[in-house]
Chains A and B, each alone.
Chain A
Amino acid sequence: MATVTQGMGAIGQTDQTPPATQPPRQSVIHEWLTTVDHKKIGIMYIVYALLFLVVGGFQALLMRIQLAIPDNHFVSPQIFNRLFTMHGTTMVFFVGVPILFGFGNYLIPLMIGARDMAFPRLNAFSFWLSAFGGLLLYFSYFAGSGLYGAGSAPDVGWFAYAPLTAKVFSPGHSTDYWTLSVLMSGIGTTATAINIVATVLCMRCKGMTLTRMPLLVWLYLVSSCMIFVAVSPLSAAQIMLCIDRYLGAHFFDTQAGGSAVLWMHFFWIFGHPEVYILILPAFAFMNEIIPVFSRKAIFGYPAMVAASVGIGFVSLSVWAHHMFTVGMGPVGNTFFVFATMVVSVPTGIKMFNWLATIWGGKVVYKVPMMFAAGFLFQFLIAGLTGIMLSAAPFDWQLSASYFVVAHFHYVLVGGILFSLFAAFYYWYPKMTGRMLSEKLGKWHFWLFLIGFHVTFDLMHVPGLLGMPRRIYTYEAGRGWEIWNLLVGVGALIQTVGTLIFVYNLIHSYFRGKEAGPDPWDAWTLEWFTSSPPPAYNFAIEPTVGSRRPLWDLKHPEDPDSSYE
């Protein structure tokens, strides 16, 4: 029998701390350095990731300038190799993972009515370990070939194929910096996943059964379970690479009986689930934002849960679609073609459910919803180019071409980054107590949208015309010139949009409109607290009776359970 959420008191009146005086600056720094509060750790993850987003974006700009005209000499080929390696490694491991875990850390305890994560000290440890990993990677710029030789960053590509990474082909230490920083970040990620699973399974408030959890929490749970399965092979592979490079072992040494293809299997068993680990939180944000801005509960909650779990399982079985050109044989290839096509089915269910949520709703056209609309359109297109690539013969033509680069940037930027921007505009008021400027947000959205499409729509064309990825320049007369130039122009437009966003973040912190506890008239527990929430989140543990506890509070005559 469904019950109505009750006895929680008024919204926003959870903070019973007496007002504090301004603490001295030193103790503020000490507080942030030693905090175990999930909200502060979440914010540190997010700020850390934003800094690396700017660095990674700068690396992308340098590459686009080099490729804007044929036979360019803006950077040397060696520097170009380092740029694409660092850009990829930074964006996946030190932007994507931290920023999504930052939001997860911040939101999960609040959304389940808990006081903090299950293991707060482990939480802090994960953050500092991951942060150190990022700094270690960038330290390679100084120390890659030993401190007394010239430094150099790794240049082996973000997936570091064997045998290029063998000691004989990559002397010096730059590859080791890559290996160790990724290994460390993986340990931090695994620890956070443990924390999330323990928190979600053990610390939900009274009345919150698994089927009453916000979908965001479900998706982070699935993502965390995937992390257990996917990060272990990566860590194992990194250790094997270290043993190869320093103890003379032969894991990836084909001439001695090992196998370079073994590295590919190990890496992609991690690498493919990794991108699903990144996209599931992006789906999570959409699951919260789209219903609120359509003024309608999410369509098909049980199907959404089932689809998310399904995506989690199936995505663990598709990894070798990154290896179609390696020669696994027709049986192997066919299996991975089918598995890759199958994973699009639960994903499609989610897309349809989002559309069904918006259909018949009363859409509030604010910046989070604009980014959500961009996400829906772009993720669809990205999925379609993915299905194209899943056909092995098609992939044989386009593997390692700019078509693949365009596809995955379409998912990562057009999908994940747009969803992240929506999440920023939606939850910034909760985290800081101030609204982001709607006007600047619209400038950000339109500039970034136009820049994104100029860059990544057009990028498919040179791929189809045969331009390989990772080349540092190309000769004139191949028909690639105009496309590369326009792609670069789009990158500049995106840069302007991003700078407006960064300005918005900073300016609104000081001058933004006061937000209050629930600026979006939303329904999940985090909007019950003041903005920003007090350190202990909830003065009294909430009791929930449905999936939308705040809806019940605001509409006691029309409980959410009647919508289930």
Chain B
Amino acid sequence: MGDAQSRHRRHVVFDHCRSRHLLELPIFGTICLLSSSLTVHAAVSALRKGNMSRCTLALALTVLLGTIFLVTTALEWRHLIYDAGLTIKTNLFGTTYYSLVGLHASHVIVGLLLLLTALLFSLTGRVTEAHSERMEALSLYWHFVDGVWVVVFLVVYVLGR
């Protein structure tokens, strides 16, 4: 009984991996994350020019887009774990997939916490033009997170097909 169940699960994972709409959610998430790099760049430019309200708006958009990315990852994982039965323990693919995407996601979470802090300071009017270098350092971290995602996406979703 257990053997038939696990065989069924392996079929589901196999079929799942070949279907085309596997990529819809990750592509949407990727677009959101890449756009968030543009918005954080806009935030830094606005801050350099002293345009505080635009900076706040751009930061808020960045946080929103980053959060959407995390949500798409969470949805994808829920589908993989509960519907397809793929966990980090299942096989080597599971191990490497969850480790790669998971470690990336944890860097996204850290970045979002930092961005959220910056957003809160900005909303309460405590950010000034003098802070532009610090904001740029934060945006560099966010660009790095984005860049790594491009590589992860290519390796896992495109080349791994």
Contact = CB atoms under 8 A, between A and B. Distances in A.
A59 B87 CA distance: 43
Nearest to A247: B88
Nearest to B96: A251
Nearest to A252: B95
B73 to A, nearest CB: 17
Contacts of A540: none
A239 interface: yes
Contacts of A240: 99
Interface residues of B, number: 11
Contact of B91 (A239, A243, A247, A257): A257
B103 A248 contact: no
B92 A243 contact: no
Contacts of A256: 91-92
A250 interface: yes
B103 A251 contact: no
Contact of A258 (B88, B92, B98, B103): B92
Given A243-B95, A258-B92, 4 more contacts: A239-B103, A249-B98, A257-B92, A258-B95
Main secondary structure of the interface of A (DSSP, over half): loop
Nearest to A259: B92
Contacts of B95: 243, 249-251, 258
B161 to A, nearest CB: 19
B49 interface: no
B97 to A, nearest CB: 10
In the A-B complex, the 9 residue pairs with the smallest Cβ-Cβ separation, listed nearest first, are A248-B89, A257-B92, A249-B95, A250-B95, A247-B88, A249-B88, A250-B92, A258-B92, A243-B99
Interface in B93-112: 94-96, 98-99, 103
Interface size class of A (residues with CB under 8 A): 10 to 19
B99 A250 contact: no
B91 A250 contact: yes
A248 B89 CA distance: 5
Contacts of B94: 249
B92 to A, nearest CB: 4
A240 B88 CA distance: 12
Q: Which one of B88, B91, B94, B95 has the greatest number of beta carbons of chain A within 10 Å?
A: B95
Q: Which one of B87, B92, B98, B103 has the greatest number of beta carbons of chain A within 10 Å?
A: B92
Interface in B62-89: 87-89
Interface string B99-127: 10001000000000000000000000000
A472 B27 CA distance: 57
Nearest to B95: A249
Interface in A253-269: 256-258
A374 to B, nearest CB: 46
Contacts of A239: 103
28 contacts: A239-B103, A240-B99, A243-B88, A243-B95, A243-B99, A247-B88, A247-B89, A248-B87, A248-B88, A248-B89, A249-B88, A249-B89, A249-B94, A249-B95, A249-B98, A249-B99, A250-B89, A250-B91, A250-B92, A250-B95, A251-B95, A251-B96, A251-B99, A256-B91, A257-B91, A257-B92, A258-B92, A258-B95
A251 B89 CA distance: 10
Nearest to B87: A248
